[in-house]
Structure 1
C-alpha cells in the first residue's frame, strides 16, 4: 500500500463517483477503479457498496476514511515541518515524557531549549516503554519516565526519587492526616494509567502487595487529570507523584504518607554509546541544574 492509494481512496470517498474522482485526479476511470479494488483486496474488506444508484461507503469504508485522512494530514504536516526546519537550518531535538513528570521542572528544560535559536523542539507524550522504542528508532533524543527497563541500546539515569502522596476528595476522613498504607487500603483506589502496562499503576499496586494489603480498585484512568477528577467526584483515592500537587484543583486535597520511603523514580533515558551532540550537551547541562535544584529543595 502506498500513499497514493490512500489519496485515491479519499477522493473517491468524497465524490462517491469514480468518473468525478478520476477527473479530479487527472486520470481515466478504469485504472482508478482497479486501484481501489486492489486496495480493498489488500485491506481485506469492501470499502464501497457498488449499486446502480452509485457508490456508498461501507461501515469499514467509513472507518478507513477517518484514519486515512488522519494519515494524509500527518504526512502533510510532517513534510511542511521538515521543509521549515531545512529552511531555518535548525536542529531537531525530540523529548518523550510521561504526563506525571510534567508538573515539576521538565517544563523549564523545554522552555530553555525553545529559547535557543538553533533548536526545533519536538515533544511526545509516551509511556516509558514507548520512549525506549522511540529512542532506538531515532524519533526522540531524550525520554523522561518512571520505569526501569533493561535494554542494551538505551541507558537510563535515575535523576531522583520522588515521594508519592495521596490525593483525596475535600472533606475525606483522611484529610489533614499522614495515613499509613493500611489506612489507605480501607478506601476504594483509582489507578492510572490504565494502559499500556507496566506503568505507575503497577508500582502503586506493588506498594500495597508488599505489605500484604488488599485494595479495591474501583476505577482505572489513562490520564492523571482524569484520575484527579474521579477523586474530586468522591469515587475513590489515588496515589500521585509529589509534583502533581503543584497543580491545584477544586475538590482535591493532598496528604503526605506516613512512610516517607514510598517513592517513584524519575528516570532519564538516552541512546547508549552515542557521542553527545552540542545540543544534547546543552540539554544535559540544563537538566543537571534542574535536578540539583530539585534535590536541594530549590525550585525556580
Structure 2
C-alpha cells in the first residue's frame, strides 16, 4: 500500500464521486477506479457501497477513511517538520505572545542573537493556542506562551510562574491595599476587565480558571480586545484588571498595581518545541534563558527540572 492510494481513497470519499475525484487528482477515471479496487483487494474489505450515487462509504470504509486522514496528516506534518529542522541552522522562527515583550523575552532574544550570529532569528507574534499547530506545521520552531496547554507532539518547558497584579485607578477604593496586597475573593463585586477576545483558550480563559480553581465567581467580568484597552478603561475609572506583573511597566498614567496574595494567581511562562526536535538551537536558547534569569535573580529550579 502506498500513500498515493490513501490519497486516492480519501479524495473519493470527500468528493463522493469517482469522476470528481479523478478531476481533482488530475488523473483519468478508469485508472482511479482500478486503484480503488486494488486497495479493496489488498485490505480484503469493501470500501464503497456498489451502485450508490453519490458514492457512499461502507462502515468499514469510513473507519479506514478516518485513519487514512490521520496518516496523511501526520506524514505531511512530519515532512514539513523535517524540512524545518534541516534548515534551522539558517533561520529559527520564534513565536511569542505579545505580553511577553514586557517581560524578559527581549533580553533573551538579544542574548541569543549575540551568541549565535550565524543563526537568523525571525519573531512571529502568535497566541499560545496557535503555537501548537504552528510548531506542528513548521511555521515556528520555538514558542513562548502563557497558557497551560498540552499536546503529545509538543514538549513544554515551564520557565517561571509570573505573579499577577491587580491594576486599579490610583483613586480607587481598593488603593488602600497597595502595600499589603489583596485576595481575589475581595474583588468579586468589582467590574473586572479581562483580555483578549481572541479564540479560546487565551489569557482571559486563564483568569477565569484561577477564579474557578479558588471556588470564586466574579459578578462583573467583561472581555476586551487587548491589554492596552483593558488598562485604558481602568485608567478611566471604569473598573479593574488582572495583568502579569511584568506588564505593570506599561507607562499609563493614574494606575497603581496591587500584589495578589492567592498562590494560584500566576501566569505560567513556558517554552514549547516539537517533541522529537533535537536541534542544537534548543539548548542554546535555554542557556540564554538561564543567564538572563540569573541576572534578574529569578529561581532556576523550574526550568532546570524540566529542561
TM-score by length of 2: 0.63
Counterpart-to-counterpart distance in 2, 1:295 and 1:159: 13
Cα separation, 2, equivalents of 1:149 and 1:259: 22
Taking a change above 3 Å as real, the CA distance of residues 117 and 258 of structure 1, as seen in their structure-2 partners, is closer
**Unpaired runs of 5+ in structure 2?**
1-86, 301-307
Q: Measure how far apart 1:265 and its partner are.
A: 0.8
The structure-2 alpha-carbon separation of the partners of 1:260 and 1:176, relative to structure 1 and needing over 3 Å to count, comes to: farther
CA deviation vs aligned residue, 1:240-272 (integer Å, no higher than 9, x gap): 111111233212110001324421211110111
2:61 counterpart residue number:
none
Structure 1 segments unaligned to the other structure (5+ residues):
1-85
1:144-293 pair list within 5 angstroms: 144-177=144-177, 178-217=181-220, 219-277=222-280, 279-293=281-295
- Describe the shift of the 1:151–1:90 C-alpha distance in structure 2 as closer, same or farther (beyond 3 A): closer
What is the CA–CA distance in structure 2 between the aligned matches of 1:291 and 1:137, rounded to whole Å? 30
Partner of 2:94: 95
Who is 2:75 aligned against?
Answer: none
Q: Which residue does the alignment assign to 1:40?
A: none
Moved more, 125-134 or 115-124: 115-124
* TM score, norm. by length of structure 1: 0.64
Distance across 2 between alignment mates of 1:110 and 1:211: 35
Change (3 A) 1:239 1:152: same
Q: CA deviation at 1:102?
A: 1.9
Q: SS state of the match for residue 280, structure 1?
A: helix
Q: CA separation in 2, counterparts of 1:218 and 1:154? A: 32
